[in-house]
Structure formats: structure tokens, C-alpha cells
């Protein structure tokens, strides 16, 4: 009698108890249950929902670790305590000091996100009497990566409760949601507490605190860390090199800065056949097209230096892929299999429009410096419609073919 058998017997004995879904969730997380499906023919495959979710989490881990180092790095750099790292392998980046600050700030975000989110899932599973769903595993990892490092934890918990209940549970739980839950959570935070989600203070740990100290009359230097998008929207010079943008040694939300590591994650997801390369590719194409249109407008002198759009429109079109949360959103959010289009043709349209709209919102709406969140949420809503027309188009085509054949 091993531990597994003991646990299994324990489960059998308490089958009728109300809390058993909670126990099952933990049990199946660690062990494969001793049950087989009772009827019908089934294909035996190893990639159940938990495996799928864990693969995505593995793809996110490099971003998370990088995010921790970057949190500390930006914190010390803004205070002038260390020198600029100049690239991915810079000596002042991968230091223990940076990691300690990162752990101190980022780990609580992860713990709160998972703790609150899973608690909501458990409560709903017990109320509804079904098994706990694994849907939150990925969301819980995504959420800390897409919020500013200094976001107060209570705000995060409120947003997580809102996102899981309103974004997912009311529609019937994992797999039934219309909107990506992680982005619902971020959108909630963005509209509810805008002062903590945008501006030039929130992206670097300590900047808000400094500001309050100055307001209280203490004699310290203000530190600010405008994101590149924010800087461009104001038409100022960007202080970071393209290589810095690519590596991600720039201010931003915790895990979305490093395009390099997001690419690694993307390759991993495509290789594991979890993320759709069609969506990623078409989204990048969409962004490039929109970027080229804007560049064209600038070089045709429709938009001149005086215009408030000049800063973002004159940004070289491919820089848009490196700055802001575009890369992260495209790879990890747009490809969410539940909320994206299901048909292959639909995926091309869906992805293209996400890229296209992201850059458009980014440039035209100074109130929403990052467009990718809103673009993905918008396209989530349209994904079923796109699929419907793709399927109907296919039906029509085949009807025609049938008619031609029989006539």
C-alpha cells in the first residue's frame, strides 16, 4: 500500500462529502487517478488539460525570472546606484541584489494571484459540485507578468476575483469564457485604478514611494521610469537602444519586456503544438502592416513634426514589435485556445486584426498607451463571428462544388 493507494481509498470513502472536489484537485495534480473512462472509444493521449497548462507555464518561466532581475535592475538603475548593463549579458544585470529586489516584489504578486484565483475556483467547484478546473493555472502565472511591479496586492486580489468570477465562472467555467481571463483582470485594474496602471511612476519599484516622500517634504530625488511607449506618445527621445528593447532591459510590466525570452517561449509553444503559429505570425504581420502605413503617412508628410501622433507614427515600423506588451500579448494571450478563433482561416484573420488594431490603438489613443490588451479583448469577442463566417463560407463552397458535380 503506497501513499497513492491510501489517497485513493480516502477518496473513495469520502465520495459524497461536499469538499471532495477540492481534494480531487490536489490529488490529480500530483497523481494520475485510478479511474478509466467507462464507455465509448477513446484515444489515449498524454496531453490532458493539466499537461497543456503546465507547458505554457514552462514557457513563461524564463520571462518570470527575467522579470525579477529586471525589477531589481530598474530599481537600482533609476536611483543611480548601478551602471547601465548595455545588453543582455551586462555585468550589472544578473546580480544577486537585483534578484533579491525582484523576489521581494514579484513573488508576492505570484502568490496572491494564485492564492486568490485558486480559492475562487475551489469555492465555485464546491458550490457547483463539479471538479476543480485547471483553467486558472496559466491565468495565475500570466497575471503577475502583465501588471506593474508596484501594484498594491489588495487591488490585484480584487481584480483577480472579478476576472475569475465575471470573466469566467458566470459563463460556465474553464473553456466556456468569451474573454481571456488574464486580460479581463488587467483591463479591470486598468480602468479601476488607472493611477497604478499607467504613467511614469508605476513601472519601477520605489518610484511611487519616492513621489510620496517628496510630497511629504523630504529631500530626495524623484525617480521616474517612463515606458518607451509613454515616451514616444509624448514625442520625446527614447533613451534606450534597439538592442536594449529586444533584450527587455527597459521599464514595463513585470514579465513582458524581454522580446528575446518571449521568442524563446513562442518557439517552445509552437514546438509543443500548444500555441498557434498562425495567430502569432499573422498578428506580427498585422502590426507590421499598420506600422508601415503610419511610416508611410509620415514620409508622405501627411503627419508632420507638430502633430501629437508624430512620435509614435514616425517610430520605425518594426520597433513596434519590440516595445510595449505587444510581443507578450501576441504569444501568450492571443493564442489562448479558448478565446481565439478555432478555424485555421479564422486564425489568420483573428491574428492579423489583433496586430493591426494593437498598433492603431497605441498610436491614436494617448489614454491607452498599450493597445494590445484592448485589441485582444475586442477580437476575443469577434472570434466566434469570424469562425461562423469561415465555416459558412466553406459550406457554401462545397455546396457549389456538389452542384457542379451533380449537374
Partner 1 sequence: MGLLSKKDAKLITDPLADNNPITIQVLGICSALAITAELKASIVMAVSVMAVLAIGNVVISLMRNIIPSKIRIIVQLVVVAALVIIVDQVLKAFAYELSKTLSVFVGLIITNCIIMGRFEAFALANKPWQSFLDGIGNAAGYGLILIIVGFFRELLGSGTLLGFKVLGDPIEKTGLYAIGYENNGFMLLSPMALIVVGIIIWIQRSRNKALIED
In the bound state with partner 1, the residue whose beta carbon lies nearer, of 125 and 245, is: 125
State in angstroms the smallest separation of the CB of 396 from partner 1.
31
Which class for 41: exposed (0-12), middle (13-18), buried (19 or more C-beta within 10 A)?
A: exposed
Segment interacting with partner 1 (CB under 8 A) among 187-195, 356-364, 367-375, 381-389: 187-195
292/378 with CB nearer partner 1 = 378
Q: How many residues bind partner 1 (CB under 8 A)?
A: 13
CA 31 to the chain's CA centroid: 29
Cβ nearer to partner 1, comparing 148 with 265: 148
Q: How far is the CB of 331 from partner 1 (least distance, A)?
A: 27
Distance CA 287, CA 90 (A): 30
State the DSSP string of 336-396.
-TTTS--SHHHHHHHHHHHHHHHHHHHHH-TT-S--HHHHHHHHHHHHHHHHHHHHHHHHH
Among 188, 203, 328, 332, binds partner 1 (CB under 8 A): 188
Out of 58, 161, 166, 178, which residue is the one contacting partner 1 (CB under 8 A)? Answer: 166
CB of 191 to partner 1, least distance (A): 4
Q: Which CB atom, from 191 or from 407, has the smaller least distance to partner 1?
A: 191
Quote the least distance from Cβ 166 to partner 1, whole Å: 6
Are the CB atoms for 313 and 295 separated by under 8 Å? yes
Closest approach of Cβ 116 to partner 1, in Å? 17
Q: Give me the least distance between CB of 192 and partner 1, in Å please.
A: 4
Q: What dihedral do alpha carbons 176, 343, 372, 155 form, nearest 10°?
A: 10
Question: ∠ CA(288), CA(243), CA(271), 5° rounding?
Answer: 65
> Cα(381)–Cα(384) distance, rounded to whole angstroms?
7
CA distance 108 to 144: 9
Residue closer to partner 1, measured from CB, 89 or 215: 215
Question: Roughly how many angstroms between the first and final C-alpha of the chain, as a whole number?
Answer: 70
Alpha helices, DSSP H, located in 82-176: 96-128, 136-145, 153-167
Candidates 74-82, 104-112, 186-194, 395-403; binding stretch for partner 1 (CB under 8 A) = 186-194
| Binding track, positions 190-219, relative to partner 1; x by CB under 8 A | -xxxxxx-----------------------
Count Cα atoms within 13 angstroms, Cβ side, for 128.
14
**CA distance linking residue 155 with residue 41, whole number of Å:** 47
* 275 Cβ contact partners less than 8 Å away, ≥ 6 residues apart: 56, 59, 266, 269, 331, 332, 335
- Interface of this chain with partner 1, residues 117 to 156, rule: CB under 8 A: 152, 154-155
CA 5 – CA 144 distance, rounded (Å): 37
Among 57, 158, 288, 391, binds partner 1 (CB under 8 A): 158
**Cβ 139 to partner 1 shortest distance, Å:** 19
Closest approach of Cβ 213 to partner 1, in Å? 14
Pick from 170, 214, 222, 402 the residue near partner 1 by CB under 8 A.
Answer: 170
Closer to partner 1 by Cβ: residue 312 or 361: 361
Q: Which is nearer to partner 1, 130 or 400 (CB)?
A: 130
Closer by beta carbon to partner 1, 65 or else 165: 165
- Give the span between the Cα atoms of 186 and 333, in whole angstroms: 12
Residue 89 CB: number of other CB atoms within 10 A? Answer: 9
State the minimum distance, in angstroms, from the CB of residue 193 to partner 1: 6
Closer to partner 1 at the Cβ: 33 or 194? 194
Asked if 407 is part of the footprint of partner 1 (rule: CB under 8 A), the reply reads no
Q: Which residues bind partner 1 (CB under 8 A)?
A: 152, 154-155, 158, 166, 170, 188, 191-196
Amino acid at each position: 500500500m503506497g501513499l497513492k493507494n491510501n489517497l485513493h481509498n480516502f477518496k473513495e470513502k469520502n465520495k459524497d462529502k461536499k469538499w471532495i472536489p477540492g481534494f480531487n484537485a490536489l490529488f490529480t495534480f500530483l497523481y494520475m487517478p485510478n479511474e478509466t473512462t467507462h464507455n465509448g472509444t477513446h484515444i489515449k493521449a498524454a496531453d490532458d488539460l493539466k499537461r497543456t497548462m503546465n507547458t505554457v507555464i514552462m514557457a513563461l518561466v524564463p520571462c518570470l525570472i527575467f522579470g525579477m532581475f529586471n525589477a531589481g535592475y530598474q530599481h537600482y538603475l533609476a536611483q543611480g546606484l548601478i551602471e547601465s548593463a548595455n545588453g543582455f549579458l551586462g555585468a550589472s544585470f544578473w546580480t544577486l541584489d537585483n534578484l533579491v529586489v525582484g523576489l521581494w516584489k514579484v513573488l508576492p504578486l505570484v502568490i496572491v494571484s494564485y492564492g486568490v484565483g485558486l480559492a475562487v475556483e475551489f469555492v465555485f467547484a464546491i458550490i457547483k459540485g463539479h471538479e476543480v478546473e485547471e483553467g486558472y493555472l496559466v491565468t495565475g502565472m500570466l497575471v503577475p507578468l502583465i501588471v506593474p511591479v508596484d501594484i498594491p496586492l489588495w487591488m490585484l486580489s480584487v481584480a483577480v476575483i472579478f476576472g475569475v468570477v465575471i470573466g469566467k465562472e458566470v459563463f460556465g467555467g474553464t473553456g466556456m469564457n468569451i474573454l481571456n481571463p488574464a486580460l479581463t483582470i488587467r483591463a479591470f485594474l486598468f480602468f479601476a485604478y488607472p493611477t497604478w496602471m499607467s504613467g511614469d511612476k508605476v513601472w519601477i519599484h520605489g518610484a511611487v514611494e519616492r513621489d510620496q516622500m517628496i510630497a511629504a517634504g523630504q529631500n530626495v530625488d524623484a525617480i521616474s521610469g517612463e515606458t518607451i511607449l509613454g515616451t514616444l506618445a509624448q514625442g520625446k527621445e527614447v533613451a534606450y537602444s534597439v538592442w536594449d528593447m529586444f533584450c527587455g532591459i527597459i521599464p514595463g510590466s513585470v514579465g513582458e519586456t524581454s522580446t528575446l525570452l518571449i521568442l524563446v517561449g513562442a518557439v517552445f509553444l509552437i514546438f509543443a503544438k500548444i500555441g498557434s503559429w498562425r495567430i502569432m505570425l499573422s498578428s506580427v504581420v498585422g502590426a507590421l502592416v499598420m506600422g508601415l502605413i503610419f511610416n508611410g503617412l509620415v514620409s508622405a508628410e501627411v503627419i508632420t513634426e507638430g502633430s501629437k501622433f508624430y512620435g509614435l507614427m514616425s517610430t520605425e515600423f518594426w520597433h513596434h514589435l519590440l516595445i510595449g506588451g505587444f510581443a507578450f500579448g501576441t504569444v501568450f494571450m492571443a493564442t489562448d485556445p479558448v478565446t481565439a478563433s478555432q478555424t485555421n482561416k479564422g486564425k489568420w484573420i483573428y491574428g492579423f486584426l489583433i496586430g493591426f488594431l494593437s498598433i492603431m490603438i497605441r498610436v491614436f489613443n494617448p489614454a491607452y498607451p498599450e493597445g494590445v490588451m484592448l485589441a485582444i479583448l475586442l477580437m476575443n469577442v469577434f472570434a466566434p463571428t469570424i469562425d461562423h463566417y469561415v465555416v459558412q463560407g466553406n459550406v457554401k463552397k462545397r455546396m457549389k462544388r456538389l452542384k457542379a458535380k451533380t449537374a
